[in-house]
Amino acid sequence: MATVRELLEAGIVRLRESGSETARLDAELLLGHALDVDRTAVIAHTDAPVGDGAAERFRTSLDRRAAGEPVAYIRGVKEFHGLAFGVDARALIPRPETERLVELAELEVVRRLIGAPRPAGSPRLRVIDVGVGSGAVAVTLAVLLRRRGMLDEVDVVATDVSEDALQLARENAVAHAVGDRITFESADLLPGSETARWDLVAANLPYVRTDAVPSLPVAASFEPQLALDGGTDGLAVIGRLFDQLGSALADDGVALLEIGGDQEPDLLALVAERLPGWSCEVERDLGGLPRVAVIRPFDRPAA
């Protein structure tokens, strides 16, 4: 019977030979998945024996990872902002960079709710996550607002053009006990029938240039291309959203959009073209790269 250490060492070699840049981490996560324990238990008990069933599950997972499949899809889960999200090929795997989008959305909601007195009977804030995918943004935001005791003051809506992605997002919302606090709608960007305008629009839309998609890591080929391909300049879908924002965003509203680390100049030019007179600032991520565009109508300062 092989030990944890023996299986790990063999797995690391296998994954390095297949081209994984994170072979040790991948092997530890996959062995933990096979044993139904977390990674720390794998690291802490390297001399423990591993039964034949778990060893076979680990080898099967190694085969899938060696073929390029993302670890998150093999495990069926991805951690995001301290929460565990179910993931599969129905939607893009949540990235750490997107946590900055959630942080800014939470801060914006909090600022609006406590920054000035709200008379009794004030309408709820209207928040929408456009292109919800796995639900990482909408669900995490709802959980954070619930912890603050603010969720009752907010209506959260999430849209996606993919019915499969919407179903995955619903499943994750239910798993985090906010399934009844988010309205999920099938829509190509913003819902077309809305009359009231949005206080906050958050979106992580496709922004990879079409000609760059084939050069992405092999793991990305397992993800839905609809969620990656942003057109010739990477801003085609974002530009279509801009065309809707003029009539959909409240006068004092804000739109938060994730962008690629090299897209700031093109994004600023696109805002000037499609939303003349509006302000746009770009927030950096932890790596110092441009990551979230903060767009407001008519250059109005925040209250």
CATH class of 4-67: mainly alpha
Nearest Cα to Cα of residue 102 among 242, 10, 202, 25: 202
Task: Please compute, for residue 84, the number of CA atoms within 13 A of its CA located in the half-sphere on the CB side.
Answer: 6
Could you report the per-residue pLDDT of 180-207, keeping only the tens digit for each? 999 999 999 999 766 679 999 999 999 9
Q: What is the pLDDT of residue 120?
A: 77
254, β-bridge pairs: 200
Regions in the chain scoring below 50 on pLDDT:
300-303
DSSP string, 186-219: E-SSS-TT--SPEEEEEE----B-GGGGGGS-GG
The whole-number pLDDT of residue 194 equals 64
Number of neighbours of residue 85 by Cβ within 10 angstroms: 26
Residues 6+ apart with CB under 8 A from 187: 159, 160, 161
127: exposed, middle or buried (Cβ count in 10 Å: 0-12, 13-18, 19+): buried
Q: Label residue 7 exposed, middle or buried (CB < 10 Å: 0-12, 13-18, 19+).
A: buried
**Segments making up each domain of the chain, as ranges:** 4-67, 89-299
Residue 302 confidence (pLDDT): 47
Q: State the CB neighbour count (10 A cutoff) for residue 249.
A: 23
Domains 4-67 and 89-299 share a fold: no
DSSP class of residue 23 equals H
Could you count the other beta carbons within 10 Å of the beta carbon of residue 95?
Answer: 12
Q: What is the pTM of this model?
A: 0.93
Which residue, among 208, 197, 203, 198, has the nearest Cα to 293 in the 3D structure?
203
Q: Which fold has domain 89-299?
A: Rossmann fold (3.40.50)
Tokens of 251: 């006068």
Q: State how far the alpha carbon of 235 is from the alpha carbons of 18, 94, 106, 270, in Å.
A: 33, 20, 25, 8
Given this model, what pLDDT does residue 303 score?
A: 44
Question: What pLDDT does residue 256 have?
Answer: 98
